[in-house]
A = this chain, B = another copy of it.
C-alpha cells in the first residue's frame, strides 16, 4: 500500500475501496467459520429485519442507505436461502412485506457469538491504532454531508487562483495590454466607436492625467485584466468605471471580480461617494458582475456610446 503514500490524497477513493474489499472478503470466510450460510452483503438487511423495524423493500432501503433494487435483490436471495418470507397480505397491494422465517430467526442465535467476536477483534484493532478509523469514518461522513468534496475542491480552486492574481497600478508597460484587451472585446461584440479611440489611444492623457486611474490584473505575472476609473465630468458621480476587460484565456478565474473589487476600493480610498458605469445587456456575465459588486440600474441619461443600453450606479 506504499503506493498511496506517493500518490497522495488523490486516490482516497481507491484506498477506501481496497480496504473495504479486504474486509468483506474476510467477512465471508468468518460466516463460514461459524457455520452460517450467509453472505456479508445480506447483513444490513438481515439486521433491520431482526430488529423488526422496517418490513417493506423501500423502508429497508431507506434504513440501510441502499437503493431499493439492491434490497430487492438481497431479499430475493434470502428468500431463496429460506431466511425470509414474503407476503402481500396487506391492504396496499404494491407493498412487499417481508420478515425473517423460522430459519432466519435461527441465524440470529448463531450470529450472536460471531457478532461478539468480530466486535472484539475490531475493538482490539482500534485499540492498537493511534488514529481511530471508526471515529474518523464518522467524522468524514459528517463533514461530507455538511459540504461535498466537490464543493471543497471548488473552494480550494478559487483560493489558489486568487493567489495567482495580483492587482497593480497602471504602468506604461501595461499600455499595450490595456489597449489590446479592450479592443478585442469591443470589436468582438460591437464595433469600436469614436470615444473608444479617444480613451484607448491617449489613455495616459485622457484618463490618468485627468484625475483617473487604471488598474491591471496580473495572472501569474501576465497582464490579463484591466479596468479604468475615469473622473466624471459633472458632480453627479465621482468616477466612471469603464474599459474593463479580461482576456478570454483567463475567463472563469474571477479576475473580473477581483478587479472590480479593487477598483471600488481604490475609489473609496480616494473619498469617492458614487460610481457610474455604462454597459450593454447582451454582456450578461458583465452585468451580473456589476450587480454582485453592488451596482444598481438607474434611469437613462445621455451617453456618447452607441452600444450603451444600460447605466448603473454604486453608492459607496
Contact = CB atoms under 8 A, between A and B. Distances in A.
Contact of A47 (B7, B43, B128): B7
A278 B16 CA distance: 55
Given A11-B44, A113-B160, A19 B22 contact: no
A82 B238 CA distance: 56
A37 B19 CA distance: 27
Nearest to A133: B136
A124 B156 contact: yes
A160 B121 CA distance: 11
Interface stretch (A98-106, A144-152, A167-175): A144-152
A47 to B, nearest CB: 5
Interface stretch (A26-34, A206-214, A291-299): A26-34
Contacts of A133: 131, 133, 136-137, 139-140
13 contacts: A9-B122, A11-B47, A13-B24, A14-B41, A15-B137, A17-B17, A19-B137, A113-B157, A113-B160, A116-B160, A117-B160, A120-B160, A133-B133
A141 interface: yes
Interface of A: 1, 3-5, 7-20, 22-24, 26-27, 29-30, 33-34, 40-41, 43-44, 47, 63-65, 113-125, 128-141, 143-145, 148-150, 152-157, 159-160
Nearest to A29: B150
B136 A131 contact: yes
B65 A115 contact: no
Given A9-B134, A130-B139, 7 more contacts: A9-B118, A10-B118, A16-B17, A23-B144, A26-B153, A129-B140, A133-B133
A144 B122 CA distance: 11
Contact of A135 (B7, B23, B131, B154): B131
